[in-house]
Amino acid sequence: MLLYRGFNIGLLRNDTGQVLKYGGFYDDKFSGEATAYLPYTQNDTLALPAKLRVTYTGAFPIYTDTLNSFDFKGLIAFNGKTVRAAEQSKWYPVIYDVKNDRELLEVTYDIEVTCKDCQTIYINGSAPQAGPSGKFHSTIPRQLLLFAGNYVVQALPNSTFLNADLSADEAAVFNENIGSIINFYRFYLQVPYGEKITFMQHRSVEPFGPKRSWGFVTFPTIAVAGKPFKSEIDTQKRLFKNIYSYYFYSHELGHYYYGQSAPANSTLKWFFLESMAEFLSIKAAENKYGKEATQKYIAERKPLMKDWKVKPLSQISSPNQIGDGYRYTYAPMILLAMEKNFGSKTVQRFCRNILQNAGQRTDYPFLVKMVKSAGVNDKDWKAFEATVMEQTECNKIFDHLP
Ligand SMILES: [Zn+2]
């Protein structure tokens, strides 16, 4: 079991209430922000009991200013107005699968939260509730993000805003734009959008803004600090002030499909998670702003990739061989090249097929299978592999883009 390093355990008990012995209190092993506590009997790590009961307590500094030298998703942050604790901090006990080295962050829940001086309490995946206490329930496994304190809730058809202080008109424009993305995805993928997104604005405990902002996602919550949602909206044009906002939210919304509906794993995990979401965002923006938007998107990335070299997807043997630049910048270009070569309908079918085959190993043979089932014949695919897929020099891709 993993628990935030700032907590102290009272007791660890099994389903019959029996107190368990556990290691980790002395000479502990850290795992990120958490300490690993391992229940044991005699000399063996205990197999997980059906129920585990744990009591723990902790106290935290309250930063009413932004003097702290850092803030990040793994910090439990009190700023005098709100408390923010994301799954990464492990503010709730996270079961750690020792054998497979896996953190089980996503859980169904039935949880009561009490916060004496909180106006609003929110747990990721449930509707926010008025304080000082609320019961939250989810049959969909979620990563738990807690956001509680004194802030207002604005609930609209496509989205809920926490602590956002948007005017009614700004909220409507934001909601319209989010709605246009969701509508496009429903049409493009032919799968209903099964989430209502919560947009959360919070004040970090280190200085973000006015020029520096910070966003994180604990799906279906998108959180920002430093740049208020308000500042992104142009109520005259009824658009985001900057198309980058449209790409950003489209990408994050795309993770409902690639991430949630179709989880990614295996060697091409980052391709099927991030590159697919990024590709969707390109299509969404193209739908809203026209083909020139895609031209501009490509042109802006060209100089970045000038000297990049990559390992072809067919040769990737472990997920982390696909670094940030590869997954967010280069691999989406491969999908655009596929589109130019095989047609947009074919790539649309490829995208849908991935969702229909969710749960399989997302490796290179899977990618090829999805391409072929989208209607690409062996000969055409071999030719495309030779010219694009097997290419190691990134700048060569521009010969194959629109
Ligand atoms: Zn992403």
Query: Do residues 386 and 338 share a domain?
Result: yes
Task: Indicate whether 337 belongs to any domain.
Answer: yes
Compute the distance between CA of residue 217 and CA of residue 256 in angstroms, rounded to an integer: 12
Query: Do residues 223 and 326 share a domain?
Result: no
Q: Predicted confidence band at 352 (pLDDT cuts at 50, 70, 90)?
A: very high
Q: Are 400 and 387 in contact (CB under 8 A)?
A: yes
What pLDDT score was predicted for residue 48?
Answer: 76
Q: What is the pTM of this model?
A: 0.88
For residue 250, pLDDT over 90 is answered with: yes
State the average pLDDT over residues 201-215: 88
Q: Are 185 and 223 in contact (CB under 8 A)?
A: no
- Angle between the 291-301 and 276-289 helix axes, to the nearest 10 degrees? 130
Q: Total structural domains in the chain?
A: 3
What pLDDT score was predicted for residue 81?
Answer: 97
Task: Indicate whether 358 belongs to any domain.
Answer: yes
Task: Output the CA 269–ligand 1 centroid distance in Å.
Answer: 12
pLDDT digits (tens, 9 = 90+) for 75-118: 999 999 999 999 999 999 999 887 777 789 999 999 999 999 99
What pLDDT score was predicted for residue 83?
Answer: 98
Q: What percent of the chain has pLDDT over 70?
A: 100
Query: Do residues 282 and 376 share a domain?
Result: yes
Task: Indicate whether 179 belongs to any domain.
Answer: yes
For residue 360, pLDDT over 90 is answered with: yes
For residue 28, pLDDT over 80 is answered with: no
Task: Output the CA 55–ligand 1 centroid distance in Å.
Answer: 35
What pLDDT score was predicted for residue 299?
Answer: 97
Query: Do residues 236 and 282 share a domain?
Result: no
Task: Output the CA 281–ligand 1 centroid distance in Å.
Answer: 10
- Structure tokens given for 214: 């910070």
Task: Output the CA 286–ligand 1 centroid distance in Å.
Answer: 18
Query: Do residues 209 and 294 share a domain?
Result: no
Last residue of a domain, one of 21, 43, 59: 59
Compute the distance between CA of residue 178 and CA of residue 160 in angstroms, rounded to an integer: 11
Coil, helix or strand at residue 182:
helix
Query: Do residues 173 and 287 share a domain?
Result: no
Q: Count of CB atoms within 10 A of residue 250's CB?
A: 26
State the average pLDDT over residues 341-354: 98
Task: Output the CA 277–ligand 1 centroid distance in Å.
Answer: 6
Coil, helix or strand at residue 132:
coil
Compute the distance between CA of residue 369 and CA of residue 349 in angstroms, rounded to an integer: 12
Q: Count of CB atoms within 10 A of residue 104's CB?
A: 13
Task: Output the CA 383–ligand 1 centroid distance in Å.
Answer: 30
Task: Output the CA 327–ligand 1 centroid distance in Å.
Answer: 9
pLDDT digits (tens, 9 = 90+) for 254-269: 999 999 899 999 999 9
Q: What percent of the chain has pLDDT over 90?
A: 84
Task: Output the CA 378–ligand 1 centroid distance in Å.
Answer: 31
Task: Output the CA 274–ligand 1 centroid distance in Å.
Answer: 5
**Which residues neighbour ligand 1 (ion) by CB within 5 Å?**
274, 277
Last residue of a domain, one of 17, 42, 59: 59
Task: Output the CA 339–ligand 1 centroid distance in Å.
Answer: 21
Task: Indicate whether 257 belongs to any domain.
Answer: no
Query: Do residues 309 and 224 share a domain?
Result: no
Task: Output the CA 296–ligand 1 centroid distance in Å.
Answer: 21
Task: Output the CA 276–ligand 1 centroid distance in Å.
Answer: 9
- The domain that contains 357 carries what CATH number? 1.10.390.10
What pLDDT score was predicted for residue 208?
Answer: 86
Task: Indicate whether 123 belongs to any domain.
Answer: no
Full domain range(s) for residue 313? 269-400
Last residue of a domain, one of 59, 85, 105: 59
* H or E segment to which residue 70 belongs: none
Task: Output the CA 82–ligand 1 centroid distance in Å.
Answer: 26
In 23-166, which residue ranges form alpha helices assigned H by DSSP?
Answer: none
> Pseudo-torsion of CA 75, 78, 82, 84, nearest 10°?
10
What pLDDT score was predicted for residue 142?
Answer: 95
Compute the distance between CA of residue 201 and CA of residue 187 in angstroms, rounded to an integer: 30
DSSP states along 375-392: T--HHHHHHHIIIIIT--
Query: Do residues 202 and 311 share a domain?
Result: no
What pLDDT score was predicted for residue 204?
Answer: 93
Backbone dihedral region of 32: left (phi > 0), alpha (psi from -120 to 50 degrees) or beta? left
What pLDDT score was predicted for residue 210?
Answer: 78
What pLDDT score was predicted for residue 347?
Answer: 98
Q: Count of CB atoms within 10 A of residue 11's CB?
A: 12
Compute the distance between CA of residue 24 and CA of residue 5 in angstroms, rounded to an integer: 11
Task: Output the CA 226–ligand 1 centroid distance in Å.
Answer: 20
For residue 45, pLDDT over 80 is answered with: no
Task: Indicate whether 220 belongs to any domain.
Answer: yes
Query: Do residues 391 and 274 share a domain?
Result: yes
Task: Indicate whether 3 belongs to any domain.
Answer: yes
Task: Output the CA 254–ligand 1 centroid distance in Å.
Answer: 8
State the average pLDDT over residues 221-244: 95
Task: Indicate whether 284 belongs to any domain.
Answer: yes
- Average model confidence (pLDDT) across the chain: 94
For residue 68, pLDDT over 80 is answered with: yes
Cβ burial, residue 16 (10 Å; 0-12/13-18/19+)? exposed
Pick the more confident residue, 397 or 215.
Answer: 397
Task: Output the CA 61–ligand 1 centroid distance in Å.
Answer: 31
